[in-house]
Amino acid sequence: MKITSIIARYLLGLMFTVFGLNGFLHFIHQPPPANPLATQFFVAVSASHFAAFFFAVQVLGGVLLLSGFFVPLALTMLAAELYNILAFHLTLSAGIAPALVACMLWVLVFLQYRESFNGILSAKPATQA
What are 80-106's pLDDT values in tens digits? 999 999 999 999 887 889 899 999 999
- Encode the chain in three state secondary structure: CHHHHHHHHHHHHHHHHHHHHHHHHCCCCCCCCCCHHHHHHHHHHHHCCHHHHHHHHHHHHHHHHHHCCCHHHHHHHHHHHHHHHHHHHHHCCCCCHHHHHHHHHHHHHHHHCHHHHHHHHCCCCCCCC
pLDDT value of position 95: 82
Q: Model-level pTM?
A: 0.89
- Residue pair 15/102 in contact by the 8 Å Cβ criterion: yes
pLDDT value of position 13: 98
pLDDT value of position 112: 96
pLDDT value of position 126: 75
Crossing angle for the helix pair 2-25 and 71-91, to the nearest 10 degrees: 60
pLDDT value of position 76: 96
Residues of the chain with pLDDT under 50: none
User: What's the half-sphere exposure (Cβ side, CA atoms, 13 Å) at 66?
Assistant: 13
